[in-house]
């Protein structure tokens, strides 16, 4: 009986994966492959590749432009991070992808990931400047603060520092933390899902989505931990990116639909205008 149940689960799972949009499969595969590369690096070489591919804010000496793109495919070694991200991704992204198309799905993932970073960077730079000002007013030279390759403070950073300065030095380190994960992009898919299926008032997914967005917004407003605040800001950046992308896509869709009315381009109305018109009917 257990074997039959297991086989049934495997068949259902295989069928589910095979029916996913191509773009979702590609993004899913990239995230999983990258994660296992990170795991291998950590297990066999004791090196966490998040330090190399996670993106630091521009106030950090470790900031590199290419990391703005690599961070959205990087995940912490703890499996909870990638499992949580991918579960939410698979709950909302496929439905969105089937409507906006594979090309737009990839564009949305990358675009919202970029906006997510910019939001994170804005918050972290503001906090960084705030901490630097406070340290400077206490007479402490921030150039004395040194961090190793893993982001940890070197003990020399605390030389001749009083208790207040030590506390500010720790906060300074938090403003140089890196950002990893696809959650910014995932929040974009979530908010577009909300727009597309808002009329499904009894949908469990919609209720879950609203709950997640509200909780994250509250965390962003009340959080006092700088590194966590940066993460929440990245989530909200993803929401903003999703809204902007959705508006631009609707304008593009409207233009294509108008062109259809004058040119009778059946492919346009069936492949692009059809789904959104049906949803809003």
pLDDT in tens, 253-271: 887 765 544 444 444 444 4
115 to 57, 91, 111, 120: CA distances (angstroms): 13, 22, 6, 9
Q: Are residues 75 and 181 in contact, defined by beta-carbon separation less than 8 angstroms?
A: yes
pTM over 0.85: no
Counting Cα atoms < 13 Å in the Cβ hemisphere of 18 gives: 6
What Rg do the C-alpha atoms of the chain give, in angstroms?
A: 22
State the pLDDT at residue 30. Answer: 96
pLDDT in tens, 27-82: 999 999 999 999 999 999 999 999 999 999 999 989 999 999 999 999 988 888 89
219 pLDDT exceeds 80? Answer: no
Residue-averaged pLDDT of the chain:
83
Residue 112 to residue 238: CA distance in whole angstroms: 5
Q: Where are the domains of the chain?
A: 19-279
Of the listed ranges 117-121, 152-156, 241-245, the least confidently predicted one is 152-156
Our separate counts of H helices and E strands in the chain read 12, 0
Residue 188 to residue 245: CA distance in whole angstroms: 9
**Phi and psi of 157, rounded to 5°?**
-65, -25
- In the block, tokens 């727009």 appear at 195
Residue 92 to residue 90: CA distance in whole angstroms: 6
Residue 155 to residue 146: CA distance in whole angstroms: 8
Instruction: Give the closest residue to 71 by CA, choosing from 242, 230, 240.
Output: 230
Residue 44 to residue 221: CA distance in whole angstroms: 40
3 pLDDT exceeds 70? Answer: no
Q: What is the mean pLDDT of residues 154-159?
A: 84
């Amino acid at each position: 009986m257990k074997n039959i149940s297991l086989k049934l689960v495997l068949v259902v799972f295989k069928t589910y994966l095979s029916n996913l949009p191509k773009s979702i499969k590609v993004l899913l595969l990239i995230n999983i492959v990258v994660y296992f590369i990170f795991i291998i690096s950590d297990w066999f070489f004791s090196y966490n590749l998040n330090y190399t591919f996670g993106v630091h804010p521009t106030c950090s000496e470790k900031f590199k432009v290419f990391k703005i793109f690599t961070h959205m495919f990087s995940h912490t070694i703890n499996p909870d991070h990638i499992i949580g991200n991918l579960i939410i991704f698979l709950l909302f992204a496929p439905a969105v992808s089937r409507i906006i198309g594979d090309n737009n799905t990839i564009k949305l993932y990358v675009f919202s990931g970029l906006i997510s970073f910019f939001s994170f960077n804005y918050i972290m730079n503001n906090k960084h400047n705030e901490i630097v000002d406070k340290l400077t007013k206490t007479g402490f030279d921030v150039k004395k603060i040194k961090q190793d390759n893993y982001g940890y403070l070197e003990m020399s950073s605390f030389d001749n520092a009083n208790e207040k300065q030590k506390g500010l030095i720790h906060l300074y380190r938090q403003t140089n933390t890196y950002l990893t994960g696809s959650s910014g992009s995932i929040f974009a898919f979530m908010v577009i899902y909300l727009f597309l299926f808002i009329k499904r008032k009894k949908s469990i997914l919609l209720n879950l989505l609203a709950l997640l967005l509200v909780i994250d917004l509250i965390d962003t407003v009340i959080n006092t931990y700088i590194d966590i605040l940066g993460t929440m800001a990245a989530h909200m950046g993803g929401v903003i990116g999703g809204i902007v992308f959705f508006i631009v896509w609707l304008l593009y869709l409207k233009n294509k639909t108008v062109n259809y009315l004058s040119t009778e381009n059946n492919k346009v109305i069936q492949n692009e205008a059809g789904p959104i018109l049906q949803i809003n009917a």
